[in-house]
Amino acid sequence: MLAADGVILHHAKVLWRVIHGHGELDLASRDFLPPLKRWVADSVGEGKRFFLDAPELVDEIYSSDGLTRKFLLRLRDGQTIETVLMAYAGRHTVCVSTQAGCAMGCVFCATGQMGFVRHLRPGEIIAQVLHVRRVLKAIDPKKRLRNMVLMGMGEPLHNYDSVMAALETISDRRGSGIGPTRISISTVGVVPAILRLAEEERPYCLAVSLHGSTEEERAALVPASKRWPLAMLIDACRRYAVITRRRIFFEWTLIAGKNDSPETAKRLLELLSGIDAHINLIPLNPTGGFAGLQSDAGHEFQKILIAGGIPCTFRQRRGIDVAAGCGMLRAERRLK
């Protein structure tokens, strides 16, 4: 029985197992049976029918606590993207990029400040996961990549089709095997794509970057709010919650003097009333002239939300000393 492009089904399964099961991309050096080895030699590589997205490692930096490693990867066309490996108690998480640059323009985000270049292909998204898996394997063959967050460079829902194609492969048990409920898609609020996620019954976790409790407050931080106003976004979230019956994680980057007041916290409670929500408070990685938050103000903000009945936690900070905020390492290297 033939698979596509003249590869018999058995050989297709072998290729899948090597690439997605073992995370290996150097097919030419594999000891395949002669028919498959000939097909690889004839069909895979530069200038041939197929190529593998295998980004080049440009830079790698470690956090002082040993829990975070950030990779700067160069793609085939010379564009660079960031991927982060984060260690927590009993698990490892990869944070991947979905675009080179970003079109959303969030004023406190290093990626948003550099503008949009292009979407990543599914293979370029998958390749980041495979890279991190190889790193983990080199550290300890028993270590597994358990979680994935799409919170790196770019807006995942702006690159919807490529992201969904990549996630179908990444969550496949025969490959990387990261369970769909352990994959979180972070969006600045691309309303049509949020509704599409619900209608297509995609099984991934949804995280919505909110950052403002009024239209004026949010629009000052998130330019995309001009296209998808806050009221429209909240309506879409309510519909998503009803259709999927899943909790939505709302991300709130705390910025001193911008969105950290008790009054803002109270408005946020009212805004999310009736939605099964969990709020992740994110201390800002200072960038673009915006300052991080003082701990007292953040804890007061959290107390108000919890008292109002919405679960609220601080995201564990990882890699503040290695420019782990989205786009920060790439921006630093461009300045050198």
Q: Rounded to an integer, what is the distance from CA 62 to the centroid of its chain? A: 19
Predicted pLDDT at 335: 41
Active site residue 326: yes
Please give the DSSP secondary-structure letter assigned to residue 290: B
Mean pLDDT on 65-81: 94
CA distances from 25 to 17, 85, 201, 281, 294 (A): 11, 20, 32, 38, 46
86 and 60 assigned to the same domain: yes
Predicted pLDDT at 49: 87
Mean pLDDT on 306-319: 84
Active site residue 237: no
CA distances from 39 to 5, 33, 199, 312 (A): 10, 10, 40, 54
Predicted pLDDT at 107: 81
Name which of 279-283, 301-305, 312-316 the model is least confident about: 312-316
Predicted pLDDT at 291: 47
pTM score, whole prediction: 0.89
CA distances from 96 to 48, 100, 110, 119 (A): 28, 11, 15, 13
Helix (H, G, I), strand (E, B), or coil: what is residue 150? strand
85 and 36 assigned to the same domain: no
170 and 36 assigned to the same domain: no
197 and 219 assigned to the same domain: yes
Predicted pLDDT at 8: 83
Query: Bigger pLDDT: 326 or 105?
Result: 105
Among residues of the chain, what percentage have pLDDT more than 70? Answer: 89
Ramachandran class of 137: left when φ > 0, alpha when ψ lies in -120 to 50, beta otherwise: alpha
Q: What is the pLDDT of residues 22-49, one digit of tens each?
A: 998 889 889 998 989 999 999 998 888 8
114 and 12 assigned to the same domain: no
Predicted pLDDT at 6: 67
The CATH number assigned to the domain holding 220 equals 3.20.20.70
254 and 287 assigned to the same domain: yes
Helix (H, G, I), strand (E, B), or coil: what is residue 183? strand
Q: What is the pLDDT of residues 92-147, one digit of tens each?
A: 999 999 999 998 988 878 877 788 999 999 999 999 999 999 999 999 999 999 99
Mean pLDDT of the chain: 89
99 and 129 assigned to the same domain: yes
Mean pLDDT on 60-84: 94
Predicted pLDDT at 146: 94
- Domain finish residue from 52, 67, 86: 52
- Number of domain units in the chain: 2
Predicted pLDDT at 85: 97
**Do the beta carbons of residue 289 and residue 295 sit within 8 Å?**
no
Task: Supply the range of the domain harboring residue 59.
Answer: 54-335
320 and 212 assigned to the same domain: yes
68 and 142 assigned to the same domain: yes
Q: Active-site residue among 95, 106, 205, 326?
A: 326
Q: Active-site residue among 46, 60, 82, 205?
A: 82
How far apart, in whole angstroms, are the C-alpha atoms of residue 76 and residue 273? 47
